[in-house]
Amino acid sequence: MKDFSVLEKKLGLKFNNKDLLTEAFIHRSYLNENPKFHLSHNERLEFLGDAVLELVVTKYLYLNYKKPEGELTSWRAALVNAQSLSQTAKELNFNEYLLLSRGEAKDTGKARQFILANTLEAFIGALYLDGGYKAAQDFIETCLLKKLPEIIEKKLFYDPKSRFQEEAQERARITPIYKVLKERGPDHAKHFIIGVYLNEELVAEGEGSSKQIAEEDAAMRALRIKGWG
């Protein structure tokens, strides 16, 4: 079993209910291999943590920035999207504490990003239950809201498709085009691979469970490949 006391010490936290802390890191796949484990997976905590996170961030933005609703919504989305949350979880070394199946433990790609993002939300849910709103608020402000100035300065609140289109039109005077390259799976669980093109040039491929997610992934990869932010 993982030694969560090391994580508590690093974060300057002390959970009264240690089971809540452990449960925040239990992925569903772990219980498939350990069906007699005494705790549940973290999806209910994730559900709660998602709501707490949105409330804390929304309240902070409302109190500190006299901006229109649309702008605040874009900033909030940039703070709480899967990429931002997974990056924060990595910075906090959450990877070391995940309880996963052997198969999931070997996969460190795109799937791990979503697992880390979900785990961070579950952790926030556990912290809220264990220490109350103030404990969750302090954690979110310390670990996540500190990134807001950079998001605003670098305009990272634009979604990847908008950013790539703006850069492509400004730098190359071309509007990007997205094309489905492959799709697989049944209707209720489709998986798409989509390419983003500048004229005939395939700049990058993205993938996801919907065309929108795959297009955003392609745009994000294209921004990195082109060095456009």
| DSSP characters over 161-184 | HHHHHHHHHHHTS---EEEEEEEE
Catalytic residue among 23, 46, 104, 121: 121
Evaluate whether 55 touches 138 at the Cβ level (below 8 Å): no
187: annotated active-site residue:
no
For 151-167, the three-class secondary structure string (H helix, E strand, C coil) is HHHCCCCCCHHHHHHHH
Q: Which helix (H) or strand (E) holds 111?
A: helix 110-131
> Phi and psi for 69 in degrees, rounded to 5?
-55, -45
CA 32 to chain CA centroid, nearest Å: 24
Residue of 193, 202, 203, 201 lying closest to 227 (CA atoms) = 203
130: annotated active-site residue:
no
Catalytic residue among 50, 159, 215, 217: 50
DSSP one-letter code for 229: -
Q: Which residues are catalytic?
A: 50, 121
